[in-house]
Structure 1
Amino acid sequence: MLKIAALCLSALIVVTAGVGWWFYEHLNGNINSVSLDGKGGAETADAFGRTPINILVMGSDGRTNAADCSLGGGCGRTGVQTGSNADVEMVVHIAADRSNATVMSIPRDTMTQVPACTDKATGRSTPGYYGQINSALQYGPACQVATVHQLTGIPIDHFVKMDFSGVVKMSDAVGGVPVCVSDDVYDTYSHLKLSKGTHTLKGVAALEFVRSRHGFGDGSDLGRTVSQHIFLSAMIRKFKSAGTLTDPSAVYGLADAATKALTVDDGLGSVKKLVSLAAQVNKVPTQRMTFTTMQTAPDPNNTERVVVGPGARTLFATIAHDQSLTTGDGEKSAAASATAKPTPTATASAVPASRITVTVENGTAVTGRAAAVATALTDQGFGSGTTTANAPSPAATTTLTYGTGQKAEAQTVADALGLPASQLRQGSGTGLTLVIGRDWTSGTSYPGGASASSSPDGSSGDQGGDSQGGGSSSAPADTEAAVSNAHAQTALTKTCAKVSPYKTVSLNGVSMTPSQAYAAARDKPDSDR
């Protein structure tokens, strides 16, 4: 959606140059903008003075007006509601040299630490809590940005938020989006109903497709992120191949829809700023845009939720360090060659962070070192039982000691902090003890490590491996490991959304598969009819 909006706005200035200032002002008046208040951190320029661009694209589930109530449902008893969740979250990374881009989805069911936030528009505030990542939007878009930045360590420069009616407007404006489904599908929750094959979806049908979580994959939000990537890739291919930008009336419709559909940060809060962004986005070749989904693991405390999984920190690091996930020609990408390859540490025995507690000891002369690192660990989802202490004696070197059978837990901690394997030790006791030595006197990522973690205050780190921009001196992340189990594909990939083979839907009180529901609901018209 972001690329489409940006492209049409860029062309709009050329097409309408002679129409008049009133039109430009009309579009400016459509835009709703909100301040980020510095919550997303800051990029670092590369050796040539160029900086990457990272944008958090959010799809809101809010029913804050009659139109969204009608489209989203659920307002029959409560009426128009206040507040919303970010049910779609995609970090869009545009490389410093504009040669490539990565779009990483974060499943809405991810559990993480939400920082202290106050929404200036509503006054609603929180001192911070551990909860579902999409709930941060209830405290304003800047809070959602801060939460994603804190989780990933990726600086977020801008955000774009779209609600239900925005998706409808944009899909109508582009004349529909061609998508393919692997089998007959009827998601009785999102109301998507399509026969096997390719369909061009507009308006409400497009919304039903991108909202469907019970129709595809395993019926969870993970399957939905993949189908959303299929939808967006198809939209990008259509937009760039259809010659839309040569049709003034089409350009007007797109620009008007885009500016009405979006809420953005102040950095994008005018047509001029959006056009400037469009010029940068348009430089990225379609074949070098990679779509991925953050790797997850089951939440040990809730079967309906997930936590950051093996490989995710490496994926975060590729984005934070401005590394491409495709080759120069885009035809053979790391995504294509590595999807089935596990990372060396992403084994079946890997332990989720939420199950791990660490005793962090300060072996330096710097006050507060243990607390800073312990807070960074809990902010990344490690167990609340993580504690701090002073080391028995000063330590020259940082070490992580683990008990018998706890090597996998130690590796998870090491991955989160960028700690090399050479710093790990097996001890004779139980539990994990991290002693901070004089080789690590500041920051929350080990100097020279590949961790993408952020500081406890939500800002990017201040030393060695904490550098997050395109000019980072940190060791490059393993791009094959970054896309392992991340459902990676480029925008040129044409594939069908895989209909769920499981009984993920219910019709007339009977559980069944989406294909069985399609057959049982012959009297209900298909979504594209």
Structure 2
Amino acid sequence: MSDPWGGRRGPATRSRTDRMPAQRDAEPGGARPPGGRAATRAASRQRGRPAPRRRARPVRKGRRVLRIAGLCLALLVLGTAGVGWWFYEHLNGNIQSFSLDGKGGAEKADAFGRTPINILVMGSDGRTSKADCKLGGGCSQTGVQTGSGNADVEMVVHISADRSNATVMSIPRDTMTNVPACTDDADHTSTGGYYGQINSALQYGPACQVATVHQLTGIPIDHFVKLDFSGVVKMSDAVGGVSVCVSDNVYDTYSHLKLSKGAHTLKGQAALEFVRSRHGFGDGSDLGRTVSQHIFLGAMIRKFKSAGTLTDPSAVYGLADAATKALTVDDGLGSVKKLIALAADVNKVPTKRMTFATMQTAPDPSNSDRVVVGTGAKSLFSSIADDQSLTTGSGKKSVAAKASASPTAASVPASQIAVTVQNGTDITGRASEVQQALIDQGFNSGTTTANAASSATTTTLTYGTGQKAEAQTAAKALGLPTSHLEQGTGTGLTLVIGADWPSGTSFPSGGSSGSSADTKAAVSNAHAQTADQAKTCAKVSPYKTVALNGVAMTPAQAYAAASTTPDSDD
């Protein structure tokens, strides 16, 4: 017969009386001595015989098994908890984070109390480790470098308040703009502000890069994620490679990307070569590179969201370990718990409703190798700032604006509105300039000026209870997006001009209060595509954008001429 744990049962357990020696009814030759067991033992000693001993109870086998099982379970629980705690602490220890100090503004909740998420994703060209020097080159004379480098990749990732859609907008690294006054908290490098290439702001810390993008676009940015060359390698390896497609044979002799026409799965250095290639795709400039990066990122997102990746414990560990080692983030994302929550929010958005776009540009009049904000860019900025989707529910491009906020309040004539304009910048005369512009547009002559109590990074228009309509009228006149309006506890309208509005009488991000951005204009000439487009190939440049042995040629010609050079995915 088997016991409950599967083993054979031992001999039958004795009854309680069976476990004790039988009592003697009486001593020989007489009645039982009085006094019970003590008397019996005494009588035995008197006759020179040892007193009978009580036998120890045998331990039941079932109880012994239970004790062993319980001990094993306890050790297992403690061991699992210990490993889990070690793993959690290990991942948290990988993360490097910095404070934004509010330099990117703050998102506003929608009518239902839900808040969008805006993250600036930066790819640094810094060679700050031996691994980065090996991957990126350029360290033969300088050695391992210090500082943050330049943000050669800049993407504003917007996740809508209701988590139904997302927009990823790339800003070309060659864009010229105003960089505000910044100080890097890490090494105390500072600037008083200048007009220059947008990617250079990272030299003054991640918060400065965030402030620069916020000032250019008017989009509140409350988080950042930065990764370097080795970070791209780690992430692509952790997902088991990223599937991409190229429209023709390509050999970028600068990034060293070499691939034959068709589909490829890229890992490690090959993945880095693909995302760094600017001479292999499009017109050979940074504009073509942003499109190929969108193809790569869309493929990586599809891999992240695939069932095979998310249900494989070893793959999940690899992803978590690689991500925490590869990324530098702001304090708001500086823990495993927060990164997991962010991943969960991204996972809620269907790939068909994730739109990739590149900021529209125009040639810089003073430098043909640089660009400035072009037609349509302000609509793209406003659509993101106003939390508008660039796709419909079916994933098709949105051609009509669709407001996500509460209905617009009734308009109030400008003549009935007075605004207190405060200068929150270090630029003399800004408040007077904007004040005069408002009066010229018919606002009440009671519109006054003052200095703000402290410097302001972000321009805000604060209004009192019941004065939202007045604020919307003023915001529309100034081109100020609704995301810059705040309800205060006092009365009247107070406009604080921040560092994101250094000049002019119309807010640089464009937009309009009380109405939605033109989403058709937002995606026009923005190379828009969605993350579910798995069959899209990166367009290899037809121009002579590379050189081999001093001879200019197209990437396809270079591929044919370099037959002895192995392909990147060999």
Q: TM-score range by the shorter chain?
A: 0.7 to 0.9
1:303 and 2:368 aligned? yes
Structure 1, residues 227-273: CA drift from partner, whole Å, max 9, x if none? 00001111112232352111111111111000000000000101111
1:484 and 2:513 aligned? no
Aligned residues: 433
Query: Cα offset for 1:397?
Result: 2.1
Q: Percent identity?
A: 75
| The one of 82, 104, 118 aligned to 2:169 | 104
Partner of 1:37: 101
Partner of 1:499: 540
Q: TM-score, normalised by structure 1?
A: 0.75
| The one of 61, 84, 102 aligned to 1:20 | 84
Q: Given that residues 360 and 374 in structure 2 are in contact (C-alpha distance below 8 angstroms), is that contact kept between their aligned partners in structure 1?
A: yes
Q: Given that residues 286 and 492 in structure 1 are in contact (C-alpha distance below 8 angstroms), is that contact kept between their aligned partners in structure 2?
A: yes
Whole-Å separation in 1 of the counterparts to 2:187 and 2:476: 35
* 3-state SS of paired residue (2:178): strand
| The one of 215, 219, 241 aligned to 1:176 | 241
Whole-Å separation in 2 of the counterparts to 1:99 and 1:310: 28
Whole-Å separation in 1 of the counterparts to 2:330 and 2:341: 14
Structure 1, residues 66-96: CA drift from partner, whole Å, max 9, x if none? 1101100111111111230000000000000
CA distance change for structure 1 residues 24 and 391 in 2, over 3 Å: closer, same or farther?
closer
* 3-state SS of paired residue (2:477): coil
**Paired AA for residue 498 in structure 1:** K
CA distance change for structure 1 residues 394 and 75 in 2, over 3 Å: closer, same or farther?
closer
Whole-Å separation in 2 of the counterparts to 1:226 and 1:395: 44
RMSD: 3.4
Whole-Å separation in 2 of the counterparts to 1:228 and 1:393: 43
CA distance change for structure 1 residues 67 and 299 in 2, over 3 Å: closer, same or farther?
same
CA distance change for structure 1 residues 186 and 172 in 2, over 3 Å: closer, same or farther?
same
Whole-Å separation in 2 of the counterparts to 1:325 and 1:217: 23
Q: Given that residues 94 and 100 in structure 1 are in contact (C-alpha distance below 8 angstroms), is that contact kept between their aligned partners in structure 2?
A: yes
Structure 1, residues 200-224: CA drift from partner, whole Å, max 9, x if none? 1000000000000000000000000
* 3-state SS of paired residue (2:568): coil
Equivalent positions of 1:438-453 (< 5 A) are 446=477
1:457 and 2:502 aligned? no
Q: Given that residues 311 and 481 in structure 1 are in contact (C-alpha distance below 8 angstroms), is that contact kept between their aligned partners in structure 2?
A: yes
**Paired AA for residue 498 in structure 2:** D
> Which structure 1 segments of 5+ residues have no match?
1-15, 339-363, 378-386, 399-416, 418-438
CA distance change for structure 1 residues 473 and 264 in 2, over 3 Å: closer, same or farther?
same
Structure 1, residues 417-444: CA drift from partner, whole Å, max 9, x if none? 9xxxxxxxxxxxxxxxxxxxxx999977
1:333 and 2:373 aligned? no
Partner of 1:355: none
Whole-Å separation in 1 of the counterparts to 2:474 and 2:82: 54
Whole-Å separation in 2 of the counterparts to 1:516 and 1:267: 48
Query: Cα offset for 1:458?
Result: 3.9
* 3-state SS of paired residue (1:290): strand
Query: Cα offset for 1:18?
Result: 8.5
CA distance change for structure 1 residues 443 and 511 in 2, over 3 Å: closer, same or farther?
farther
* 3-state SS of paired residue (2:196): strand
Q: Given that residues 174 and 239 in structure 1 are in contact (C-alpha distance below 8 angstroms), is that contact kept between their aligned partners in structure 2?
A: yes
**Paired AA for residue 515 in structure 2:** A
Partner of 1:524: 565
| The one of 550, 559, 569 aligned to 1:509 | 550
Whole-Å separation in 2 of the counterparts to 1:175 and 1:507: 32
Whole-Å separation in 2 of the counterparts to 1:20 and 1:452: 42
Q: Given that residues 182 and 196 in structure 1 are in contact (C-alpha distance below 8 angstroms), is that contact kept between their aligned partners in structure 2?
A: yes
Query: Cα offset for 1:65?
Result: 1.0
Partner of 2:204: 139
CA distance change for structure 1 residues 257 and 365 in 2, over 3 Å: closer, same or farther?
closer
1:321 and 2:386 aligned? yes
Q: Given that residues 445 and 453 in structure 1 are in contact (C-alpha distance below 8 angstroms), is that contact kept between their aligned partners in structure 2?
A: no
Structure 1, residues 349-369: CA drift from partner, whole Å, max 9, x if none? xxxxxxxxxxxxxxx896778
1:63 and 2:100 aligned? no
* 3-state SS of paired residue (1:239): helix
Whole-Å separation in 1 of the counterparts to 2:430 and 2:196: 16
* 3-state SS of paired residue (1:48): coil
**Paired AA for residue 475 in structure 1:** S
Whole-Å separation in 2 of the counterparts to 1:370 and 1:255: 42
Q: Given that residues 40 and 459 in structure 1 are in contact (C-alpha distance below 8 angstroms), is that contact kept between their aligned partners in structure 2?
A: no
Partner of 1:235: 300
CA distance change for structure 1 residues 271 and 396 in 2, over 3 Å: closer, same or farther?
closer
Whole-Å separation in 1 of the counterparts to 2:513 and 2:419: 26
Whole-Å separation in 1 of the counterparts to 2:472 and 2:315: 58
Structure 1, residues 49-72: CA drift from partner, whole Å, max 9, x if none? 001000000000000111101100
> Which structure 2 segments of 5+ residues have no match?
1-79, 402-417, 444-458, 460-469, 486-495
Query: Cα offset for 1:373?
Result: 11
Partner of 1:381: none
Partner of 2:336: 271
CA distance change for structure 1 residues 30 and 159 in 2, over 3 Å: closer, same or farther?
same
Partner of 1:425: none
Structure 1, residues 166-190: CA drift from partner, whole Å, max 9, x if none? 0000001101111100000000000
Q: Given that residues 449 and 475 in structure 1 are in contact (C-alpha distance below 8 angstroms), is that contact kept between their aligned partners in structure 2?
A: no
Whole-Å separation in 2 of the counterparts to 1:376 and 1:282: 44
**Paired AA for residue 197 in structure 1:** G
Q: Given that residues 65 and 81 in structure 1 are in contact (C-alpha distance below 8 angstroms), is that contact kept between their aligned partners in structure 2?
A: yes
Q: TM-score, normalised by structure 2?
A: 0.70
* 3-state SS of paired residue (1:243): helix
Structure 1, residues 365-415: CA drift from partner, whole Å, max 9, x if none? 9677899999989xxxxxxxxx959969964527xxxxxxxxxxxxxxxxx
Query: Cα offset for 1:447?
Result: 5.5
**Paired AA for residue 477 in structure 2:** Y
Partner of 2:138: 74
| The one of 41, 47, 50 aligned to 2:111 | 47
**Paired AA for residue 364 in structure 2:** D
Q: Given that residues 42 and 460 in structure 1 are in contact (C-alpha distance below 8 angstroms), is that contact kept between their aligned partners in structure 2?
A: no
* 3-state SS of paired residue (1:79): coil
* 3-state SS of paired residue (1:104): strand
1:150 and 2:247 aligned? no
| The one of 424, 442, 445 aligned to 1:397 | 442
Q: Given that residues 423 and 498 in structure 2 are in contact (C-alpha distance below 8 angstroms), is that contact kept between their aligned partners in structure 1?
A: no
* 3-state SS of paired residue (1:291): strand
Partner of 1:380: none
Whole-Å separation in 2 of the counterparts to 1:47 and 1:365: 26
1:89 and 2:134 aligned? no
| The one of 186, 194, 213 aligned to 1:129 | 194
Q: Given that residues 440 and 447 in structure 1 are in contact (C-alpha distance below 8 angstroms), is that contact kept between their aligned partners in structure 2?
A: no
Whole-Å separation in 1 of the counterparts to 2:483 and 2:523: 15
